[in-house]
């Protein structure tokens, strides 16, 4: 009889939690048939028991997962990085002219760093549906309409062509250059 993976890894995970003074963890494992199995250990920061659907404030880690998902879908031909956001999320407040999957991935779309706190206050009762609604309702920043023309594309043009235009925002330029020149399908 096959031993469940949770039984095998649980002692090691419990030791890591003790050693690192981490109150709890949720591990999800996707099976070949598409089902998901969980190992849930410990509590959250307020000593509430964790559940398989507990939300964690993981912040920027989601950027990697989102980018990988988009690139896999692009490789499979399901979408292109230069698709307008409106093609995939027509009800999103940010689904406006010039906002593409590529501009979202390179942080040049004009979205703010986080959802407005009034739409999804970070509290123990925050759930996925509320967070999803907040993401869809988050508008572009006020200067987003001309963000690409004023700041990002002139800077990238300078890096690619040697043109002496002022380099205003090197971080955005590097992000845009990376997505455009590192082999992302549709580049």
Angle at 109 between CA 85 and CA 162, to 5 degrees: 125
Q: Are 131 and 142 in contact (CB under 8 A)?
A: no
pTM: 0.54
Query: pLDDT 10s digit of each residue in the chain, 187 long?
Result: 889 999 999 999 999 999 999 999 999 999 899 899 999 999 988 888 999 988 777 767 888 888 999 999 999 999 999 999 999 999 998 888 889 999 888 888 888 878 888 998 887 778 878 888 998 898 887 654 444 444 444 444 334 444 443 333 333 333 333 333 334 344 3
Q: Which residues are catalytic?
A: 60
């Amino acid at each position: 009889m096959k031993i469940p993976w949770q039984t095998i890894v649980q002692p090691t995970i419990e030791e890591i939690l003790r050693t690192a003074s981490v109150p709890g963890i949720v591990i999800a494992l996707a099976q070949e048939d598409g089902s998901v199995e969980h190992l849930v250990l410990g509590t959250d920061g307020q000593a509430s028991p964790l559940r398989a659907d507990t939300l964690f404030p993981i912040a920027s880690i989601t950027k990697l997962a989102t980018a990988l998902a988009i690139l896999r879908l692009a490789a499979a031909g399901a979408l292109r990085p230069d698709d307008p956001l409106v093609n995939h999320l027509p009800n999103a407040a940010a689904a406006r002219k010039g906002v593409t999957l590529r501009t979202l991935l390179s942080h040049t779309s004009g979205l703010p760093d986080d959802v407005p706190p009034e739409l999804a206050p970070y509290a123990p009762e925050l759930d996925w549906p509320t967070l999803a609604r907040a993401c869809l309702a988050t508008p572009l920043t006020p200067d987003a309409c001309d963000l690409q023309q004023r700041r990002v594309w002139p800077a990238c043009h300078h890096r690619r062509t040697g043109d002496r235009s002022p380099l205003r925002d090197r971080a955005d330029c590097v992000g845009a250059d990376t997505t455009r020149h590192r082999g992302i399908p549709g580049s």
